[in-house]
Copies of this chain bind each other. A is one copy, B any other.
């Protein structure tokens, strides 16, 4: 898989890999798995999107936030793993900072999942849960945690 070339072909520019916000590692490897820490929608201007989905943000804005979170994940993977070392997405935990009444979490998280499919093809589509959190760090609208299989 040539994800770097695909990224260029699609004209996608990644934000910088987000700085660490606590005591953790961005990626930990074990066997041929890499566990990627939860990421938020970190942007090129080095700020995070924020707001609660269902009140501050509508579905479309939330999908953009999920896509931006995917771009931040790709930036970290590019830096810590190498995009062309990714064999498959194994598992994605998509967490939406939503109002208690919100119910379209899968559509929100598709914003990230479609990006990964565009970049990695069908191997970019993993197992998934898309769920609603009561709150998220700094009131970011989306946080996504990833497990991938990598070439080592």
Contacts and interface: CB of A to CB of B under 8 A. Distances in A.
Interface of A: 21-28, 30-33, 35-38, 52, 54, 88-93, 95-107, 109-110, 113-114, 117, 125-139, 143, 145, 147, 149
Contact of A145 (B103, B107, B129): B129
Given A28-B88, A143-B129, A23 B135 contact: no
Instruction: Indicate how many identical chains form the complex.
Output: 3
B95 A126 contact: no
Given A28-B90, A30-B90, A129 B21 contact: no
Contacts of A149: 30
Given A135-B103, A137-B105, A129 B93 contact: yes
A103 B52 contact: no
A111 to B, nearest CB: 9
A131 B105 contact: no
B106 A21 contact: yes
10 contacts: A22-B128, A23-B125, A24-B113, A24-B128, A30-B149, A35-B91, A98-B135, A103-B137, A129-B143, A132-B137
A102 B133 CA distance: 12
Contacts of A31: 31-32
Contacts of A105: 135-137
